Amino acid sequence: MRKKIVAGNWKMNTQLSEGIELAQTLNKKLDNSENEEVKVVIAPPFTHLASIKNVIDSKKITLAAQNCATHEKGAYTGEISATMLKNIGVDTVILGHSERRSYYYDTSETLSLKVAQVLANKQEVIFCIGEVLKEREAEKHFEVVKKQLSEVVFKLSEAEFENIILAYEPVWAIGTGKTASPEQAQEIHAYIRGLVAENYSNEIAENTSILYGGSCNPGNAKELFSNKDVDGGLIGGASLKADDFKAIINSF
Ligand code: PEP
Protein backbone atom coordinates (compact mmCIF):
# COMPACT_ATOMS: atom_id res chain seq x y z
CA MET A 1 0.00 0.00 0.00
CA ARG A 2 1.19 3.51 -0.77
CA LYS A 3 2.24 5.78 2.05
CA LYS A 4 0.40 8.84 3.28
CA ILE A 5 2.90 11.65 3.56
CA VAL A 6 2.87 15.20 4.87
CA ALA A 7 6.05 17.09 3.95
CA GLY A 8 6.97 20.59 5.07
CA ASN A 9 9.02 22.74 2.72
CA TRP A 10 10.48 25.47 4.90
CA LYS A 11 12.02 27.25 1.88
CA MET A 12 14.48 30.01 2.89
CA ASN A 13 12.89 30.61 6.28
CA THR A 14 14.06 30.49 9.91
CA GLN A 15 17.42 31.25 11.44
CA LEU A 16 19.19 28.18 12.80
CA SER A 17 18.00 28.62 16.39
CA GLU A 18 14.39 29.10 15.22
CA GLY A 19 14.63 26.08 12.96
CA ILE A 20 15.94 23.88 15.75
CA GLU A 21 13.14 25.06 18.01
CA LEU A 22 10.50 24.40 15.36
CA ALA A 23 11.84 20.89 14.70
CA GLN A 24 12.03 20.12 18.43
CA THR A 25 8.49 21.37 19.03
CA LEU A 26 7.16 19.26 16.17
CA ASN A 27 9.10 16.25 17.37
CA LYS A 28 7.50 16.60 20.80
CA LYS A 29 4.01 16.91 19.36
CA LEU A 30 4.28 13.73 17.30
CA ASP A 31 4.09 10.24 18.65
CA ASN A 32 5.30 7.05 17.00
CA SER A 33 1.84 5.71 16.29
CA GLU A 34 1.01 8.78 14.17
CA ASN A 35 4.11 8.22 12.11
CA GLU A 36 3.05 4.68 11.32
CA GLU A 37 -0.03 6.09 9.60
CA VAL A 38 1.41 9.24 8.07
CA LYS A 39 5.04 9.76 7.17
CA VAL A 40 6.12 13.21 8.32
CA VAL A 41 8.91 14.95 6.40
CA ILE A 42 10.53 18.34 6.98
CA ALA A 43 12.82 20.13 4.54
CA PRO A 44 14.72 22.91 6.35
CA PRO A 45 17.42 25.03 4.67
CA PHE A 46 20.77 23.29 3.99
CA THR A 47 22.51 25.14 6.83
CA HIS A 48 20.13 23.61 9.39
CA LEU A 49 20.11 19.97 8.31
CA ALA A 50 23.00 18.55 10.35
CA SER A 51 21.89 20.31 13.56
CA ILE A 52 18.24 19.37 13.14
CA LYS A 53 19.18 15.76 12.46
CA ASN A 54 20.50 15.67 16.05
CA VAL A 55 17.32 16.94 17.70
CA ILE A 56 14.66 14.86 15.96
CA ASP A 57 13.67 11.25 16.29
CA SER A 58 14.12 9.70 12.87
CA LYS A 59 11.29 7.28 13.63
CA LYS A 60 8.94 10.27 13.80
CA ILE A 61 10.36 12.74 11.29
CA THR A 62 12.21 12.22 8.02
CA LEU A 63 14.65 14.94 7.09
CA ALA A 64 14.71 16.22 3.51
CA ALA A 65 16.72 18.74 1.52
CA GLN A 66 15.13 21.28 -0.84
CA ASN A 67 17.56 20.74 -3.72
CA CYS A 68 20.88 19.13 -4.62
CA ALA A 69 23.65 19.47 -7.18
CA THR A 70 23.75 17.89 -10.64
CA HIS A 71 27.14 16.29 -9.87
CA GLU A 72 28.68 14.26 -7.08
CA LYS A 73 31.70 16.44 -6.29
CA GLY A 74 34.26 18.77 -7.81
CA ALA A 75 34.51 22.31 -9.08
CA TYR A 76 30.88 23.38 -8.66
CA THR A 77 31.16 26.43 -6.41
CA GLY A 78 28.23 26.91 -4.09
CA GLU A 79 26.62 23.54 -4.70
CA ILE A 80 25.72 20.75 -2.25
CA SER A 81 25.72 17.19 -3.55
CA ALA A 82 23.29 14.38 -2.81
CA THR A 83 26.29 12.42 -1.48
CA MET A 84 27.02 15.17 1.06
CA LEU A 85 23.37 15.09 2.12
CA LYS A 86 23.44 11.32 2.47
CA ASN A 87 26.57 11.63 4.58
CA ILE A 88 24.75 13.74 7.18
CA GLY A 89 21.73 11.43 7.22
CA VAL A 90 19.38 13.11 4.75
CA ASP A 91 17.47 10.46 2.82
CA THR A 92 14.99 12.56 0.86
CA VAL A 93 15.45 15.43 -1.59
CA ILE A 94 12.77 17.71 -3.05
CA LEU A 95 13.44 18.34 -6.75
CA GLY A 96 11.66 20.34 -9.41
CA HIS A 97 9.91 22.80 -7.12
CA SER A 98 8.40 25.56 -9.24
CA GLU A 99 10.48 28.21 -7.44
CA ARG A 100 13.65 26.39 -8.47
CA ARG A 101 12.34 25.88 -11.99
CA SER A 102 11.51 29.56 -12.41
CA TYR A 103 14.14 31.44 -10.36
CA TYR A 104 17.09 29.06 -10.63
CA TYR A 105 16.51 27.64 -14.09
CA ASP A 106 16.03 23.99 -13.20
CA THR A 107 15.13 22.29 -16.48
CA SER A 108 14.19 18.71 -17.28
CA GLU A 109 17.82 18.19 -18.25
CA THR A 110 19.31 19.42 -14.97
CA LEU A 111 16.55 17.72 -12.99
CA SER A 112 17.37 14.39 -14.65
CA LEU A 113 20.98 14.77 -13.49
CA LYS A 114 19.86 15.66 -9.96
CA VAL A 115 17.42 12.74 -9.78
CA ALA A 116 20.23 10.42 -10.89
CA GLN A 117 22.48 11.73 -8.11
CA VAL A 118 19.79 11.19 -5.48
CA LEU A 119 19.01 7.67 -6.66
CA ALA A 120 22.71 6.78 -6.83
CA ASN A 121 22.82 7.53 -3.11
CA LYS A 122 19.75 5.39 -2.40
CA GLN A 123 17.73 8.40 -1.34
CA GLU A 124 14.12 9.25 -2.22
CA VAL A 125 12.97 12.12 -4.41
CA ILE A 126 9.88 14.25 -3.92
CA PHE A 127 9.43 15.33 -7.53
CA CYS A 128 7.28 18.44 -8.04
CA ILE A 129 5.21 19.15 -11.13
CA GLY A 130 2.47 21.65 -11.90
CA GLU A 131 1.17 24.24 -14.29
CA VAL A 132 1.15 28.04 -14.13
CA LEU A 133 -2.11 29.99 -14.16
CA LYS A 134 -2.03 30.72 -17.90
CA GLU A 135 -1.67 27.03 -18.65
CA ARG A 136 -4.57 26.13 -16.35
CA GLU A 137 -6.74 28.81 -17.95
CA ALA A 138 -5.88 27.42 -21.39
CA GLU A 139 -6.72 23.92 -20.07
CA LYS A 140 -3.19 22.75 -20.71
CA HIS A 141 -2.54 21.44 -17.22
CA PHE A 142 -2.75 17.77 -18.21
CA GLU A 143 -0.32 18.29 -21.06
CA VAL A 144 2.10 20.25 -18.84
CA VAL A 145 2.35 17.66 -16.09
CA LYS A 146 2.65 14.83 -18.62
CA LYS A 147 5.62 16.59 -20.24
CA GLN A 148 7.29 17.33 -16.89
CA LEU A 149 6.98 13.67 -15.87
CA SER A 150 7.93 12.20 -19.26
CA GLU A 151 11.09 14.25 -19.55
CA VAL A 152 12.46 13.21 -16.16
CA VAL A 153 10.99 10.53 -13.91
CA PHE A 154 9.27 8.42 -16.59
CA LYS A 155 12.71 7.80 -18.04
CA LEU A 156 13.64 5.81 -14.94
CA SER A 157 13.50 2.05 -14.66
CA GLU A 158 10.72 0.48 -12.59
CA ALA A 159 13.12 -0.17 -9.72
CA GLU A 160 14.33 3.42 -9.77
CA PHE A 161 10.81 4.86 -10.00
CA GLU A 162 9.88 3.14 -6.74
CA ASN A 163 11.98 5.80 -4.99
CA ILE A 164 9.94 8.65 -6.43
CA ILE A 165 7.19 10.48 -4.57
CA LEU A 166 5.23 12.86 -6.79
CA ALA A 167 3.93 16.25 -5.69
CA TYR A 168 1.37 18.02 -7.86
CA GLU A 169 1.69 21.71 -7.12
CA PRO A 170 -0.30 24.11 -9.30
CA VAL A 171 2.00 27.14 -9.40
CA TRP A 172 -0.99 29.49 -9.14
CA ALA A 173 -1.77 28.00 -5.73
CA ILE A 174 1.71 28.19 -4.19
CA GLY A 175 1.92 30.87 -1.51
CA THR A 176 -1.07 32.68 -3.00
CA GLY A 177 -3.83 31.58 -0.63
CA LYS A 178 -5.67 30.11 -3.66
CA THR A 179 -6.10 26.36 -3.44
CA ALA A 180 -7.10 23.87 -6.08
CA SER A 181 -10.60 22.67 -5.25
CA PRO A 182 -10.80 19.08 -3.99
CA GLU A 183 -12.38 18.16 -7.36
CA GLN A 184 -9.57 19.82 -9.33
CA ALA A 185 -6.98 18.05 -7.17
CA GLN A 186 -8.64 14.64 -7.49
CA GLU A 187 -9.07 15.03 -11.26
CA ILE A 188 -5.40 15.71 -11.95
CA HIS A 189 -4.09 13.27 -9.32
CA ALA A 190 -6.14 10.50 -10.94
CA TYR A 191 -4.74 11.54 -14.31
CA ILE A 192 -1.17 11.43 -12.96
CA ARG A 193 -1.75 7.98 -11.44
CA GLY A 194 -3.08 6.85 -14.81
CA LEU A 195 0.12 8.06 -16.47
CA VAL A 196 2.20 6.09 -13.96
CA ALA A 197 0.13 2.99 -14.77
CA GLU A 198 0.63 3.54 -18.52
CA ASN A 199 4.37 4.02 -18.15
CA TYR A 200 4.97 1.27 -15.57
CA SER A 201 2.09 -0.85 -14.24
CA ASN A 202 -1.13 -0.64 -12.25
CA GLU A 203 0.70 -2.05 -9.26
CA ILE A 204 3.37 0.66 -9.34
CA ALA A 205 0.71 3.33 -9.86
CA GLU A 206 -1.19 2.05 -6.82
CA ASN A 207 2.01 2.20 -4.77
CA THR A 208 3.02 5.72 -5.81
CA SER A 209 2.30 8.49 -3.32
CA ILE A 210 1.02 11.64 -5.02
CA LEU A 211 1.00 14.72 -2.77
CA TYR A 212 -0.90 17.95 -3.29
CA GLY A 213 0.81 21.28 -2.69
CA GLY A 214 -0.43 24.84 -2.88
CA SER A 215 -1.83 26.87 0.02
CA CYS A 216 -2.77 23.75 1.94
CA ASN A 217 -3.66 24.65 5.53
CA PRO A 218 -5.47 23.19 8.56
CA GLY A 219 -8.76 24.51 7.16
CA ASN A 220 -8.66 22.80 3.78
CA ALA A 221 -6.37 19.77 4.28
CA LYS A 222 -9.11 17.37 5.34
CA GLU A 223 -11.18 17.97 2.22
CA LEU A 224 -8.15 17.72 -0.06
CA PHE A 225 -6.76 14.58 1.60
CA SER A 226 -10.12 12.80 1.56
CA ASN A 227 -9.81 12.34 -2.22
CA LYS A 228 -8.82 8.84 -3.16
CA ASP A 229 -5.82 9.83 -5.26
CA VAL A 230 -4.47 12.52 -2.91
CA ASP A 231 -1.98 10.83 -0.60
CA GLY A 232 -0.94 13.83 1.43
CA GLY A 233 0.56 17.25 1.01
CA LEU A 234 3.67 19.26 0.37
CA ILE A 235 3.19 22.21 2.66
CA GLY A 236 4.98 25.55 2.46
CA GLY A 237 3.81 28.42 4.69
CA ALA A 238 1.77 26.29 7.09
CA SER A 239 4.76 24.04 7.84
CA LEU A 240 6.47 26.93 9.65
CA LYS A 241 4.02 26.74 12.55
CA ALA A 242 4.19 23.48 14.49
CA ASP A 243 0.50 23.63 15.48
CA ASP A 244 -0.70 24.19 11.92
CA PHE A 245 1.58 21.51 10.52
CA LYS A 246 0.43 19.05 13.18
CA ALA A 247 -3.21 19.89 12.42
CA ILE A 248 -2.56 19.14 8.73
CA ILE A 249 -0.96 15.80 9.67
CA ASN A 250 -4.01 15.03 11.82
CA SER A 251 -6.32 15.76 8.88
CA PHE A 252 -6.02 12.16 7.68
C1 PEP B 1 5.30 24.87 -1.63
O2 PEP B 1 6.10 25.77 -1.74
O3 PEP B 1 5.62 23.71 -1.93
C4 PEP B 1 3.95 25.19 -1.16
C5 PEP B 1 3.01 24.33 -1.34
O6 PEP B 1 3.81 26.42 -0.57
P7 PEP B 1 2.47 26.98 0.17
O8 PEP B 1 1.93 25.85 0.99
O9 PEP B 1 2.96 28.11 0.99
O10 PEP B 1 1.53 27.38 -0.91
Q: What is the mean pLDDT of residues 121-138?
A: 97
Q: What is the mean pLDDT of residues 104-124?
A: 98
Domain range holding 138?
10-170+187-211
Q: What is the mean pLDDT of residues 114-132?
A: 98
What is the position in ligand 1's atom list of the atom closest to the CA of 97? 3
Q: Which band of pLDDT confidence, cut at 50, 70 and 90, is reported for residue 104?
A: very high
**CATH for 164:** 3.20.20.70
Q: Which residues line ligand 1 (CB under 6 A)?
A: 9, 169, 174-175, 213-216, 234-238
Which pLDDT score, from 0 to 100, does residue 34 have? 66
Query: Measured between alpha carbons, how far is 102 from 218 in angstroms, rounded to an integer?
Result: 28
Average pLDDT, the chain: 96
- Please count the structural domains in the chain: 1
- Closest residue CA from atom 1 of ligand 1: 236
Q: Is residue 25 part of a domain?
A: yes
Distance of CA 236 from the midpoint of ligand 1 (Å): 3
Distance of CA 8 from the midpoint of ligand 1 (Å): 8
pLDDT at 173 over 70: yes
pLDDT per position as a tens digit, 23-48: 999 999 998 766 678 999 999 999 99
Selection from 47, 118, 119, 43 nearest residue 78 by Cα: 47
Q: Is residue 143 part of a domain?
A: yes
- Closest residue CA from atom 6 of ligand 1: 236
Give catalytic status of residue 97 as yes or no: yes
Q: Is residue 236 part of a domain?
A: no
